[in-house]
Amino acid sequence: MVYWVHIAHSIDRAMLHRERCAEVPSNIIRTDFWEGGWFDYPDKERALAAMEQSGTTFQIKCPLCKP
């Protein structure tokens, strides 16, 4: 299963999603890590590590897919 992390530096938040979550856009536009964007990870441990290293204050899990 693939996990997605949406980093939004403008609102100081990183959110973890499962691959089939309705919040994950169908056409992913990746941007720079420091600017923010959508990033995929092959397992939950790597996704959680990326969230911790994102530099955001709010690190939450999606309330819809509950990863």
pLDDT tens for the chain, 67 residues: list them.
Answer: 899 999 998 899 999 999 989 999 888 766 766 678 899 999 999 999 999 999 999 999 999 999 8
Is 29 within 8 Å of 2 (Cβ atoms)? no
Q: What is the pLDDT of residue 33?
A: 65
Please count the CA atoms within 13 angstroms of the CA of 32 that sit on its side-chain side. 3
- CA Rg value for the chain: 11
Provide the greatest CA pair distance for the chain: 28
